[in-house]
């Protein structure tokens, strides 16, 4: 019963905000309360998933025998927890950023609706439910991208639609093919059993689904919308974009690979290199482009493409250790990248700085924000004992377990590139500015609070990663379940 409530609560709140248009404080309080409640609900579900076997709840029936079915299992719980936990500081940030601006109720309403849709994706028990949630939030989030109504925002939104709509169509085509081949679209660990013998059809379905979800997952060469969408979108939504929306694509890919096709069948089809190679290229190329990019948000956007590419590369190795690493990395990356966007958003609003070359002396002007940015950048580089190190280590050892030396090399190159594009940010922040020294412009508002909260989470997830209920444990259990064990 808790699952539908968790999914529908943000949607209801969104509808209420959109319909009644409450005042600034009321809207802020309601949204924060709703996100915190959703987060707690997801935490409870995560606890359930850790200790109990998966259980399904049917919502409605669309077309017999396909229905909207929800399910709580380790992978879904991990993803749902990540999304809802990141939404708490994101809502704080949004409230701080929106202030008294125009269309704030519309923004909050759509923002919360996206949360609900993403949770629908997380707790989906079959491919159709996942697709419904996926399409819903893909199409609705374009409203958030164009929120600022600038020309750049419109262009970015248009480009995003151009990528996402065909992607969604391809994903639907893939789903239909799967249904016709296998007579079922339910997520079964180890893959659907009755997939038939026709390799060509299976490959076609695989390709359609990978392209369809790969658009969202920023898989090279379908990543073109990412660098444009991030600077154009409002800062709270950029954080969600980078942190969880891109991860949703990878999440869908994991579900499809492991619970529709299954590792055994995938190895028989020999299609995984077609996923691994674009992912590897994406890691390196996006990293290189990030180094040359001056605008802060675009640099972080390329960084997202690169980091999520690690996860996709590891997933394509079809190895439980690598899968655990990929899932943990995605979960940790959500908070690190989200925090970075919060900090960068605060810097852009209060200090008017959008480029790395203008960052000089930020350490004096906004000390707390600058410290958080440095901390999060170090976490992204993979400094122990922060959370980025966990993902990095598991990915590296997973790649070695899978016996793939080239994946290891790509991961290491990506790691060095991450340092290469984050070092100038850190260096410029702490270089003393030329005289006369500009004054401090830090404000204690929702944005700072959001960044602090995320920073604390990053440190916590790093130090305490081994404790139960934290992402690592959930990811481990998820990997074991997906690989067909326990």
Partner 1 sequence: MPDSVRLGEALLIALVLWPLVAALAVALLAASNRRGASALSVVGTGATLLLAFALFAFDGTATVRIPALLSVLELRADPAGLLFALVAAMVWFAVSVYSLGYLRDNPAADRLRVTSLVVLSGNLGVFVAGDWLSLLVFFEAFGLTGLLFVVHSGDAAARRAGVKYFWMTLLGGVALLAGIALLQQAAGTLALAPVPDGEAARWALLLMLVGFGVKAGMFGLHIWLPDAHSAAPAPASALLSGVMIKAGAYGIFRCFENFSADAGFGVALLCLGLAGMLVGAVAALAQRHAKRLLAWSSISQMGFILAAFGAAALAGPDGVSGRAAGLLHAFNHALFKSALFLAVGALVHAAGSANLDRLGGMHRRAPLLFVLLLVAAAGIVGLPPLNGFASKTMIHHALADLATRNEAFAVVEWGYYAASVGTAAMFVRLVQRLCAQPPADAPATSRMPVSMSLAVGMLAGLIVVAGLMPGLLTESLVLPALGVSAAAHDLDLLHHSLADRISPFVILLIGLAVARLADRFGLADRRPPAWLGVDGAFCGIGRAVLRACDRAARTAGQLRRGGLRRGVDTVALLRRGLATNWTDSARIAALGAGMRLPHDRVYRHLDQQRDRIIRHALVLAGRHGASVPGSRRAQIERLLDATRHYAGWLGTRLISGAVALDIEDALRLAHSDECCRHLAEQALAMAVTDVESGHEERAMALADDALAAVLGTGAEPSFGVVPARRGLHEMQSVLFHLIVDPMRRHWPVSESLARGAFASQMRGSLHRLARDPGAGLAFACVLLLVLTVLLIRA
Of 173 and 441, CB closest to partner 1: 173
Within 123-262, residue ranges assigned H as helices are 127-145, 151-182, 199-216, 225-232, 235-240, 246-255
Nearer to partner 1, 196 or 432 (CB): 432
The minimum distance between CB 216 and partner 1, in angstroms, equals: 14
Residues paired with residue 68 on neighbouring β-strands, in sequence order: 60
Instruction: Quote the least distance from Cβ 200 to partner 1, whole Å.
Output: 5
Q: Residue 224, Cβ neighbours under 10 Å: how many? A: 16
Only one residue has tokens 């959500």, namely 334
Query: C-beta of 207: minimal distance to partner 1 in Å?
Result: 5
Between 56 and 397, CB nearer to partner 1: 397
Q: Which is nearer to partner 1, 54 or 384 (CB)?
A: 384
CB of 190 to partner 1, least distance (A): 23
Q: Are 481 and 73 in contact (CB under 8 A)?
A: yes
Min CB(255)–partner 1 separation in Å: 21
* Helix, strand, coil share (%) of the chain residues, nearest 5: 75, 5, 20
Report the residue number, 15 or 460, with the smaller CB distance to partner 1: 460
Closest CB to partner 1 among residues 72, 226? 226
- Smallest separation (angstroms) from partner 1 to the CB of 383: 6
The residues near 52 (Cβ < 8 Å, ≥ 6 apart) are none
The nearer residue to partner 1, 316 or 415, going by C-beta atoms, is 415
Q: Do 311 and 329 meet the contact criterion of CB atoms below 8 Å apart?
A: yes
User: How far is Cα 122 from Cα 118, in angstroms, rounded to an integer?
Assistant: 6
Q: Which of 387, 235, 373 is nearest to 307 (CA)?
A: 387
Task: Report the alpha-carbon distance of residue 202 to residue 88 in Å, rounded.
Answer: 40
- Given the complex with partner 1, which of 57 and 161 has the nearer CB atom? 161
Q: How far apart are CA 287 and CA 295, in angstroms?
A: 14
Tell me how crowded residue 36 is: count the other CB atoms within 10 A of its CB: 16
* Cβ-contact 123, 3 below 8 angstroms: yes
Strand ranges (E), 308-423: none
- Which is nearer to partner 1, 3 or 271 (by Cβ)? 271
- To the nearest whole angstrom, how small is the minimum distance from the Cβ of residue 201 to partner 1? 9
Q: Which is nearer to partner 1, 66 or 413 (CB)?
A: 413
In whole angstroms, give the CA distance from residue 314 to residue 240. 23
Q: Indicate the DSSP class of residue 1.
A: -
CB of 197 to partner 1, least distance (A): 15
Q: Minimum distance between the CB of residue 381 and partner 1, rounded to whole angstroms?
A: 7
Shortest Å, Cβ 396 to partner 1: 5
Give 323's contacts (C-beta < 8 A, 6+ positions apart): 254, 258, 314, 315, 398, 478, 479, 482, 483
Helix (H) or strand (E) run with residue 69 in it = strand 66-72
Is the CA virtual torsion 424, 426, 427, 428 positive or negative? Answer: positive
| Contact by Cβ (8 Å): 310, 322 | no
In angstroms, what is the minimal distance from the CB of 363 to partner 1?
A: 11
Distance CA 428, CA 370 (A): 10
Binding site for partner 1 (CB under 8 A): 155, 158-159, 162-163, 166, 200, 203-204, 207, 211, 221-222, 224-225, 228, 270-271, 274, 285, 288-289, 291-293, 378, 381, 383-385, 389-390, 392-394, 396-397, 400-401, 408, 412, 415-416, 419-420, 423, 427, 430-432, 462-467, 472
Backbone φ and ψ for 125, nearest 5 degrees, come out as -105, -15
Q: Of 18 and 288, which has the nearer Cβ to partner 1?
A: 288
């Amino acid at each position: 019963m808790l699952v539908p409530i968790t999914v529908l609560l943000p949607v209801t709140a969104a509808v209420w905000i959109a319909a009644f248009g409450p005042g600034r404080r009321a809207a802020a309080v309601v949204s924060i309360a709703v996100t915190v409640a959703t987060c707690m609900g997801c935490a409870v579900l995560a606890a359930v998933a850790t200790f109990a076997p998966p259980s399904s709840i049917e919502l409605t029936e669309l077309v017999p025998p396909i229905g909207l079915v929800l399910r709580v299992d380790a992978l879904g719980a991990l993803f749902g927890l990540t999304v809802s936990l990141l939404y708490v500081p994101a809502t704080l940030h949004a409230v701080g950023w929106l202030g008294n601006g125009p269309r704030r109720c519309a923004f909050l309403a759509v923002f919360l609706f996206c949360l609900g849709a993403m949770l629908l994706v997380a707790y989906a028990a079959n491919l159709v439910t996942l697709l419904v949630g996926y399409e819903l939030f893909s199409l609705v989030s374009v409203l958030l991208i164009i929120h600022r109504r600038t020309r750049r925002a419109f262009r970015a939104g248009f480009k995003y639609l151009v990528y996402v709509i065909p992607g969604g169509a391809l994903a639907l085509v893939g789903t239909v093919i799967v249904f016709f081949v296998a007579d079922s679209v339910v997520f079964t660990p180890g893959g659907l059993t009755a997939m038939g013998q026709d390799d060509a059809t299976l490959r076609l379905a695989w390709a359609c689904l990978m392209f369809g979800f790969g658009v969202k997952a920023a898989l090279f060469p379908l990543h073109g919308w990412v660098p444009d969408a991030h600077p154009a979108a409002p800062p709270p939504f950029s954080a969600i974009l980078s942190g969880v929306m891109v991860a949703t694509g990878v999440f869908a890919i994991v579900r499809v690979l492991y619970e529709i096709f299954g590792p055994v069948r995938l190895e028989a089809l020999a299609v995984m290199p077609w996923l691994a190679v674009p992912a590897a290229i994406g890691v390196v190329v996006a990293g290189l482009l990030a180094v040359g990019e001056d605008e802060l948000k675009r640099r972080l956007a390329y960084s997202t493409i690169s980091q999520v590419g690690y996860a996709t590369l590891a997933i394509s190795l079809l190895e439980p250790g690598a899968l655990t690493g990929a899932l943990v990395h995605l979960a940790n990356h959500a908070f690190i990248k989200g925090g970075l966007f919060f900090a960068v958003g605060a810097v852009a609003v209060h200090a008017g700085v959008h480029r790395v070359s203008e960052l000089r002396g930020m350490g004096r002007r906004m000390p707390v924000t600058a410290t958080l940015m440095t901390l999060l950048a170090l976490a992204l580089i993979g400094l122990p004992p922060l959370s980025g190190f966990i993902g990095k280590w598991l990915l590296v050892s997973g790649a070695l377990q899978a016996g793939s030396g080239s994946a290891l090399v790509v991961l290491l190159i990506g790691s060095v590139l991450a340092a290469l594009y984050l070092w100038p940010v850190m260096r410029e922040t702490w270089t003393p500015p030329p005289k006369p020294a500009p004054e401090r412009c830090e404000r204690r508002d929702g944005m700072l609070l959001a960044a602090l909260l995320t920073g604390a989470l990053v440190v916590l997830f790093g130090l305490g990663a081994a404790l139960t209920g934290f992402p690592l444990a959930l990811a481990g259990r998820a990997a074991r379940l997906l690989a067909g064990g326990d």
